[in-house]
């Protein structure tokens, strides 16, 4: 399996060229400079989660796909795949964060999980995946003091989220509602409502999250 840190830039450029989008057009739509996109493609800079989400959404691919080369063998199990630290603002919805498993049945050993670590102190571990790219089943970990997006910005994306708290506690903001959930609590909400997660405690929060990334049938 290629080093995800080294493969992100070239893979991003490869997908961008396949999409026939220029650096300037990508930068214009993301409201960043063309040089910043170029630095990411050349491996001189790492995007934030928000930027990575936005890039994947704009290019119409999953985030996990950006950390794989075309020749990657998806049928083999390997060591845990940890992405370079990114920012939540990089990708639109959790559904964009992972590539399709290419399988109707998914068995995942804890040592073989795909992992995304964000520079805000958040970690996503993919628990299982099937051919339905719109569904994401993952374990999330928020370090003490971490939040879902850089700068405390609220997130909006298609889909519905359901979470169950395993350990610790986390403050959840959905629209005008602010609620702290702790071990044993659960939550569900429409992700088109502005939302954010913050761990304001002194201990890590760990939970199981299920995100259905396509809300269109329910609108």
- Which tens digits make up the pLDDT trace of 198-207? 999 999 999 9
Mean pLDDT of the chain: 76
pTM of the model: 0.60
| Most trustworthy range by pLDDT among 12-21, 56-65, 172-181 | 172-181
**What are the residues whose beta carbons fall under 8 Å from the beta carbon of 42, sequence distance 6 or more?**
9
The domain segmentation of the chain, as residue ranges, is 4-218
- Cα 13 to Cα 9: distance, rounded to the nearest angstrom: 6
Over residues 135-142, the mean pLDDT reads 88
Residue 15 has pLDDT above 60, yes or no: yes
Sorting pLDDT into bands at 50, 70 and 90, what band is 75?
A: very low
Residue 72 has pLDDT above 50, yes or no: no
Q: What is the reported pLDDT for 121?
A: 80
| Most trustworthy range by pLDDT among 76-90, 100-114, 115-129 | 115-129
Over residues 47-66, the mean pLDDT reads 72
Q: What is the reported pLDDT for 118?
A: 75
Over residues 77-104, the mean pLDDT reads 50
Comparing C-alpha atoms, which of 121, 95, 136, 118 is closest to residue 49?
Answer: 118
Question: Minimum mean pLDDT among 97-111, 113-127, 145-159: which range?
Answer: 97-111
Q: What is the reported pLDDT for 111?
A: 79
What is the spatial order of strands in the sheet that 135-142 belongs to?
Answer: 81-82, 114-117, 122-128, 135-142, 205-212, 160-167, 186-190
**Residue 119 vs residue 25, higher pLDDT:** 25
Q: What is the reported pLDDT for 73?
A: 39
Residue 2 has pLDDT above 50, yes or no: no
Residue 179, Ramachandran bin (φ over 0: left; ψ between -120 and 50: alpha; else beta): beta
Q: Which of the 8 DSSP states describes residue 50?
A: H
Decide which of 2.60.40.10, 3.40.50.9100, 2.60.120.10, 1.10.260.40 is the CATH code for 4-218. 2.60.120.10
**Residue 209 vs residue 66, higher pLDDT:** 209
**Residue 155 vs residue 65, higher pLDDT:** 155
Residue 208 has pLDDT above 80, yes or no: yes
């Amino acid at each position: 399996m290629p080093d995800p840190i080294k493969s992100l830039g070239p893979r991003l450029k490869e997908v961008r060229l396949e999409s026939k989008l220029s650096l300037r057009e990508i930068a214009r739509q993301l409201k960043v400079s063309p040089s910043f996109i170029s630095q990411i493609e050349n491996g001189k800079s790492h995007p934030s989660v928000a930027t990575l989400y936005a890039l994947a959404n704009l290019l119409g691919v999953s985030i996990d796909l950006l950390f794989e080369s075309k020749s990657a063998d998806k049928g083999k199990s390997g060591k845990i795949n940890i992405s370079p630290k990114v920012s939540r603002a990089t990708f639109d919805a959790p559904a964009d964060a992972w590539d399709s498993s290419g399988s109707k049945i998914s068995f995942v050993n804890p040592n073989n999980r795909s992992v995304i670590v964000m520079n805000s102190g958040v970690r996503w571990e993919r628990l299982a995946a099937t051919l339905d790219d719109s569904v994401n089943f993952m374990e999330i970990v928020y370090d003490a003091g971490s939040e879902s997006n850089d700068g405390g910005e609220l997130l909006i994306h298609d889909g519905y989220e359901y979470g169950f708290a395993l350990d610790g506690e986390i403050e959840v903001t959905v629209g005008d509602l602010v609620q702290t959930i702790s071990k044993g609590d659960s939550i569900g909400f429409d992700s088109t409502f502005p939302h954010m997660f913050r761990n304001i405690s002194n201990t890590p929060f760990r939970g199981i999250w299920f995100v259905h990334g396509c809300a269109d049938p329910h609108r």
